[in-house]
Homo-oligomer: A and B are copies of this chain.
Amino acid sequence: MSRPVTLFTGQWADLPLEKLAEKASAWGFDGLELACWGDHFEVDKALSDDAYVRAKRDLLARYNLTCFAISTHLVGQCVCDPIDARHKAILPPYVWGDGDPEGVRQRAAEEVKATARAASLFGVDIVNGFTGSSVWAKLYFFPPTSQADIDAGYQDFAQRWLPILDVFQAQGVKFALEVHPTEIAYDIYTAQRALEAVRHHPAFGFNFDPSHFIHQFIDPVFFIEAFPDRIFHMHVKDSRVQLNGRNSILSSHLDFGDARRGWDFVSPGRGDVKWDRIIRALNRIGYQGPLSIEWEDSGMDREWGAPEALRMVRSQDFAPSAVAFDAAFQRQ
């Protein structure tokens, strides 16, 4: 079938886009999924300056790269989160403003709406991102979090995101939540709850990233099968469980890359994700979008890893069977 293979630029935002485009093109990627940070895709400039969008398009074309989606993980995170100092570093100053939590959340919501408009201008119909969550931090809590508290968290999510989703729909763009711990949906049951909270809004779906299910011990194939018409985009990212009786699956407040953690992200193909099964599941649901490599492995040089991951994906992206074998066995 040969779906396009793209590289998500979020982990390379320390490089100017041109430099990254040159590398990605040389490695053989078909396109880039542009992060809305660094100089990769700046929403304010895209909306205020016609030339900006055109220049980005030209740059990509020069390197024979396509863009199928842009990503607003950082700003999206601030829409529902309890805001604190850590959020300042991930926001543009005009969104952070005076840092008052509710003001930040509202400006972030406006920025996500603006991102939908910028995507539309740029000719892209998928925006990936995070949503934040007012209840994530209360996941395992003592004194216990009541179900009423949890319900309130999903209502808060619905109230803040429904107006945003309406803007997306008006622009003909879809929002794909990367289902991920720290977000309003991080597994199958919370994804169901989130969908119900926004009453199955047509502009709301998922950026499927199997790596976030591995350390939860969820089979990513079940996620695909649970939401066949809501997989708007996907990330190729891998994770590995490394338990030995001493390491905790909660990972002990230790940084990624520390061998005492119970799990860690690794270069795609070196973790516990079974890619063959995922391709079969994507074939079953008819997913035709890009396979976008989000490369993150704290133990490997990224320039070794990205082309290795690309080769792995190419070796897996097969088409479904076109013949019925029983029929072949029959006489004509």
Contacts and interface: CB of A to CB of B under 8 A. Distances in A.
Contacts of A222: 244-246
A244 B244 CA distance: 7
Nearest to A147: B255
Interface in A278-305: 280-281, 283-284, 296-302, 304-305
Given A248-B218, A322-B302, A143 B87 contact: yes
A138 interface: yes
Contacts of A276: 266, 270
Contacts of A183: 142
Contact of A332 (B14, B140, B326): B14
B10 A329 contact: yes
Which secondary structure characterizes the binding site on chain A?
loop
B331 A92 contact: yes
Contacts of A87: 143
A256 B325 contact: yes
A172 interface: no
Nearest to A153: B253
A38 B332 contact: yes
Interface stretch (A43-51, A59-67, A107-115, A187-195): A187-195
A243 B217 contact: yes
B141 A137 contact: yes
Contacts of A221: 259
Contact of A189 (B13, B141, B254, B321): B254
A217 B147 contact: no
B91 A331 contact: yes
B90 A246 contact: no
Contact of A217 (B249, B277, B284, B327): B249
Contacts of A137: 137-138, 141
Interface residues of A, number: 103
B186 A250 contact: yes
A253 B150 contact: yes
A135 interface: yes
A89 interface: yes
Nearest to A296: B325
Contacts of A26: none
Interface of A: 1, 10-14, 37-38, 73-74, 77, 86-87, 89-92, 130, 135, 137-147, 149-150, 180-183, 186-190, 193, 213, 215-219, 221-222, 225, 242-257, 259-260, 262, 266, 270, 276-277, 280-281, 283-284, 296-302, 304-305, 308, 318-332
19 contacts: A1-B301, A10-B328, A12-B328, A37-B329, A37-B331, A74-B329, A86-B146, A130-B142, A137-B141, A142-B183, A189-B260, A190-B252, A213-B248, A216-B250, A256-B326, A283-B299, A301-B319, A302-B322, A302-B323
Top-10 shortest CB links A-B: A219-B245, A301-B319, A137-B137, A216-B248, A187-B248, A189-B252, A142-B182, A86-B143, A217-B243, A304-B318
